[in-house]
Amino acid sequence: SMIHKGEYLHFMEKEIFEQPQAVKDTLLYACNQENNCFSYESFSMRERDFKEISRIRVIACGSAYHAGYVLKSVCERLARVPVQVELASEFRYNHPILETGELVISISQSGETADTLAAVREAKKLGAKTLSIVNVIGSAIAGESDFVFYTQAGPEIAVATTKAYSCQLVAGYIFSLLLAKAKGKINDTEVHSLKDELFLLPGKIQQCLSLDSETLPMAKKLKDDKNIFFLGRGLDWAVSMEGALKLKEISYIHCESYSSGELKHGTISLIEKNSPVIALISQEDLATKSISNIHEVKSRGAKCFAFTMENISVEENDFTQILIVPKTRPLFAGSLLVVPLQFLSYQVSLLKGLDPDKPRNLAKSVTVE
């Protein structure tokens, strides 16, 4: 390949470190050169196209599917437009019903995933407008969609996505912001304040790049476990799905994400002495609820780790270790939380003597159904 790892041990590590730049490039890509505002045109859409959206269906696979849940959370909160997230491989077999005004958004790093491509084709057949958020220019999914937004992650080599996922989150934020603006759900002051906060993300992601020294002791404590539980509520749940996938795909440890409140409806029966639980707690309004779920697992012997944000109060006694990311708007917390989660996966993989760039049985891009 023309791309080299340079000073890095693996492409995954290199790509984790490229995230501040990739996110910045994606933010700049979305800006109009003249007035420096996010532009509808970066999605190759007009304001009118945004105004016409009454519902959204997101279709994607793997990590891109998880990015869809972040988009749902942010979009529903900012723009008050309902979003349904579906696995691309399921979409066609659910006798899909698409309403007038429903925009189908496909998210894909490669732009070549067979299931996602087939779902886009099905959506078009049903008469829906389609937007794709893809990383590869000229890819099949981009070509078949009415509208395209290109994430600016650059080529991603490691099978486990890092920087492309981060750019997909950002694309989702910008889309939601533009939709909220077009729909008159947020005023200009709020649009600017959210935009300013987004432009602070690359710097804050950069700060998160020094959290590898804090995730290492955690990785050492988790590397011999057989099952790891991830917990979160709302946006934290969305991000925990990606955290669990990342860790399981390159460490071969069974990891599963559960919404904090749902755990007690079944899965808590699996919790025993020393069961590892990784809790994402970045949403202030949900923190108390999430912590009461921590108490439920702790009283059954779980060893708990917290990934939280500055200014959110969590009790040291509840956790084996607490990892704190810098403060941002709660809506954008996932962009920071994901970085230490990536480090954790990478380090567990290395500690187990595995090659994080080449996990068994997995392909970077799956072009068969």
Q: Which is nearer to ligand G6P, 151 or 308 (CB)?
A: 151
State which of residues 217, 272, 362, 369 lies at the interface with ligand G6P (CB under 6 A): 362
Q: Does 64 bind ligand G6P (CB under 6 A)?
A: yes
Q: Does 143 bind ligand G6P (CB under 6 A)?
A: no
Alpha carbons 135 and 67: distance in angstroms, whole number: 13
* Segment near ligand G6P (CB under 6 A); pick from 173-181, 265-273, 333-341, 360-368: 360-368
* Segment near ligand G6P (CB under 6 A); pick from 109-117, 118-126, 146-154, 267-275: 109-117
Q: In what order do the strands lie in the sheet with 147-150?
A: 83-87, 55-60, 102-108, 129-134, 147-150
Tokens (6 digits) for 302: 């779980």
* Segment near ligand G6P (CB under 6 A); pick from 40-48, 214-222, 228-236, 361-369: 361-369
Alpha carbons 240 and 259: distance in angstroms, whole number: 9
**Residue 364 annotated to the active site:** yes
Rg (C-alpha) for the chain, rounded Å, is: 20
CB within 8 Å of 266: residues ≥ 6 apart: none
Q: Does 260 bind ligand G6P (CB under 6 A)?
A: no
* Segment near ligand G6P (CB under 6 A); pick from 25-33, 62-70, 317-325, 331-339: 62-70
Which helix (H) or strand (E) segment holds residue 184: the answer is none
Q: Does 116 bind ligand G6P (CB under 6 A)?
A: yes
Tokens (6 digits) for 264: 């007690």
Residue 276 sits at the vertex; the CA angle it makes with 275 and 282, to the nearest 5 degrees, is 140
Task: Name the amino acid, one letter, at 339.
Answer: V
User: Which residue's CB atom is positioned nearest to ligand G6P?
Assistant: 62
* Cα–Cα nearest to 56, from 44, 72, 36: 72
Smallest separation, CB 299 to ligand G6P (Å): 36
Q: Does 159 bind ligand G6P (CB under 6 A)?
A: yes
Alpha carbons 367 and 369: distance in angstroms, whole number: 7
Q: Does 322 bind ligand G6P (CB under 6 A)?
A: no
Q: Does 243 bind ligand G6P (CB under 6 A)?
A: no
Catalytic residues: 364
Residue ranges in contact with ligand G6P by CB under 6 A: 61-64, 108-110, 113, 116, 159, 161, 362-366
